[in-house]
Amino acid sequence: LSRRDIALCEIGGFLHDLGKIGVPDAILNKPDSLTGDEYAVIQTHPAVGGRLLTNHPLAALAFDAVVGHHERPDGRGYPQGLAGAVIPEVARVVGIADAFDAMTSTRPYRKGMRVEKALEIIRNESGSQFDATLAGHFLAVSHSAELVHVIGHSEPGLPLLFCPACHAPVAVRRAQHADDHLYCRACGGESRLTQDVDGMELEMTGQRGDAAALAPDSDPDLIGTMVEDIAPRVF
């Protein structure tokens, strides 16, 4: 991949699930198996993401990854059922990264899969769910330190923490420090950030966040860092 292609994969990876804002939390966080109707709703998120990007002047930088990351080489993916090389390369790259992240991430309703098991699934699905060549490259770097900063991290050097009440993941921003209050998006619980020699932890305060505290918010520091890094490789 060229430097520009790699940058497009980074942008696509950051925005690929944009369309999930149109999927009810009750479906996204459901601990049991989804019904056919619920899975059909999940399958709308790539197309919803594509529509949200429509008319944005920079939409082309992320469109292929947002719309195509659930397409499969065997043609059994969605939303369009594309197959093989017809699937944009950036979508094939992001599709592998997304699947690995989904399998190894801890959710409120289940513990993340062991890395070895996730890699085995990618190996077994190579050529069907995942592009064979790209899956081979992914597996080749899996035994190095390349994935250490990805698994269980919101960004390099910042491990995800987990709500002491419901065990949902809570992302810590680089600008946050000990004694700051963080809020769980799943249960609304308020926690205080603590830090010692072993790292950061969350300690319940017994309070709940109000509407303002629980409202979605952007991370301007993270976005600014990404723009500074990616822009010279794209334009």
Could you write out the DSSP letters of every residue in 57-111? TTGGGTHHHHHHTT--TTS--SSS---GGGS-HHHHHHHHHHHHHHHHS-BTTBP
Q: Which residues pair with 169 in a beta bridge?
A: 162
Q: Which pairing describes strands 158-159 and 161-162: parallel, antiparallel, or unpaired?
A: unpaired
Domains of the chain, residue spans = 3-151, 155-214
DSSP state of 182: E
Q: Do domains 3-151 and 155-214 have the same CATH topology?
A: no
Report, as an integer, the average pLDDT of 190-199: 92
Q: Residues 131, 92: contact at Cβ < 8 Å?
A: yes
Confidence of residue 151 (pLDDT cuts 50, 70, 90): confident
User: How many angstroms separate the CA atoms of 52 and 60, rounded?
Assistant: 12
Report, as an integer, the average pLDDT of 101-106: 91
pLDDT, tens digit (0-9, with 9 covering 90-100), for 42-89: 999 999 999 999 999 999 999 999 999 999 999 999 999 999 999 999
Alpha helices in the chain (DSSP H): 3-15, 25-28, 36-42, 45-53, 63-68, 89-104, 115-124, 132-141, 211-214, 220-234
Q: What are phi and psi of 218, to 5 degrees?
A: -85, 165
User: CATH homologous superfamily for 3-151?
Assistant: Hypothetical protein af1432 (1.10.3210.10)
Q: What is the CATH number of domain 155-214?
A: 2.20.28
Q: Decide if pLDDT at 110 tops 90.
A: no
pLDDT recorded at residue 145: 72
Confidence of residue 133 (pLDDT cuts 50, 70, 90): very high
Q: Which pairing describes strands 158-159 and 199-208: parallel, antiparallel, or unpaired?
A: unpaired
